[in-house]
Amino acid sequence: MSIVIPDEIITATRMTEAEMKQEIAVMLFQREKLTLAQASRFAGMHRVAFQHLLASRKISVHYDVQDFEQDIKNLREMGRL
């Protein structure tokens, strides 16, 4: 599914496309609609960078078993575990 955000909306918010994606990702993460991994991917950011973004906004990271298992899988795929 693709979502098209009209240029006039982007202009009105004075945000770049990347900033808009980050805002949407943060909002969905806060509402627990996306996991940390999903939100960081949606935002187009490395997970650690997304965590820093959340911390800068004083948003706590709810890190659960699913996130842990995804981290283990990612580390194995990268050959670091």
Dump strand ranges (E) for the chain.
Answer: none
CB 24 within 8 A of CB 42: yes
71 CB contacts (<8 Å, ≥6 apart)?
Answer: 37
What's the pLDDT at 61? 84
CA–CA distance, 81 with 27 (Å, rounded to integer): 32
Q: What digits encode the pLDDT tens for the residues 51-63?
A: 999 999 999 887 7
What is the pTM assigned to this prediction? 0.72
The tens digit of pLDDT for each residue in 32-47 reads 899 888 999 999 999 9
Tell the residue number behind the tokens 């006039």, with chain if given. Answer: 8
For 31, 36, 40, 44, the CA distances from 62, given in Å and listed in that order, are 11, 8, 13, 19
